[in-house]
Chain A
Amino acid sequence: MSDIRVGTELPSLELAAITRSTLALFAGASGDHNPVHIDSDVAKQAGMPDVFAQGMLSMAYLGRMLTNWQPQAKLRRFSNRFAAITHLQDVITCSGKVVELLEQNGETLARCEIQAVKASGEPTLIGEALVAIVRGRYDEF
């Protein structure tokens, strides 16, 4: 039996402050070469004070939190909306909790509310994940 129940909190993940290097590495690794994230001149032309983080970088951080908690093979659905821009030097913390247990396709799933939040308390990503917790599709897990 799993000890995951409504109200269970996912172990939170606090990231290092976002730097230009973070953004450059993620641009290369993710394939998102949009210069507004890596070239200050382009960012300023677009009306931004400086380069800012790719939304998918923070979503990848949320993904790390989820797979730190449960094996990726148990992840069924993962979604978020992008609520605010993450700037240089922002410190992002990912957190979440189980809000519902439901049955779907013969599995018990934990529906988790998840978010990425700045040190100021402002959420940057607000989303949801469905994670299998009892009978997985992959027996080895």
Chain B
Amino acid sequence: MLDKNKIGHEFPSFTAEIEKGRLRFFAKAIGETNPIYTDEGAAQAAGYRTIPAPPTFMFSVDLEGPELLPVLKLLELDLGRVLHGSQTFEYLGQVYAGDRITQQSKIADIFDKKGGALEFVVQKSTYTNQNGELVGTAQQTLVYRN
């Protein structure tokens, strides 16, 4: 069983730069053709400060930390048994190319179902830009198959 004493654990905060080229690559990889996601002029004409990060890109910010998926080490998880159960984003502002986004994340809950055959780890994250504005939050649930 996973260590429920880790509920409330806060991971080290880190800051990631949102690179314009990376956003263009991401747009290409998901087949996005709306020019606001690749062209600054089109983004500005649509009312954005510059190229916005698409709605799910905050998950990619999570992966920019000093350690890939630090939850694996904290809870001694075997990556091959981890499934992504659910994902939620809330938008309080916009993430843009050139921003420096600080991510803070913690373990919000750990629980099990089916007599411990499946365990669930809920992680909550916040995203704050270089101006100190909270631009979004995320919650993800990982499912661990025992």
B80 touches A82 (CB 8 A): no
Number of interface residues of B (CB under 8 A): 34
Give min CB distance, A121 to chain B, whole Å.
21
Q: How many A-B pairs with Cβ below 8 Å?
A: 103
Q: Shortest Cβ distance from A89 into chain B, in angstroms?
A: 16
Cβ A33 vs Cβ B68 within 8 A:
yes
User: Which residue from A32, A79, A138 sits with its C-beta under 8 Å from B86?
Assistant: A79
Pick the contact of B26 from A29, A66, A80 — CB < 8 Å? A29
Q: Is the CB of B31 within 8 A of A29?
A: no
Residues of B within 8 A of A26 (CB): 29-30
**Do A67 and B55 touch across chains, with their CB atoms under 8 A apart?**
yes
Closest CB of chain B to A34's CB: distance in Å? Answer: 7
Any B CB within 8 A of the CB of A8: no
Write out, one digit per residue, whether chain B residues 113-146 have a CB within 8 A of any chain A CB (1) or not (0): 0000000000000000000000000010000000
10 A-B pairs closest in CB distance: A79-B88, A29-B29, A31-B63, A140-B47, A81-B86, A63-B55, A25-B29, A60-B30, A29-B26, A29-B25
- List residues of chain B with CB under 8 Å of any chain A CB: 22, 25-26, 28-32, 34, 46-48, 52, 54-56, 59-60, 63-64, 68, 79-80, 83-91, 94, 139
Which residues of A line the B interface, CB within 8 A? 15-16, 22, 25-26, 28-34, 36, 45-46, 55-57, 59-61, 63-64, 66-68, 71-73, 75-82, 138, 140-141
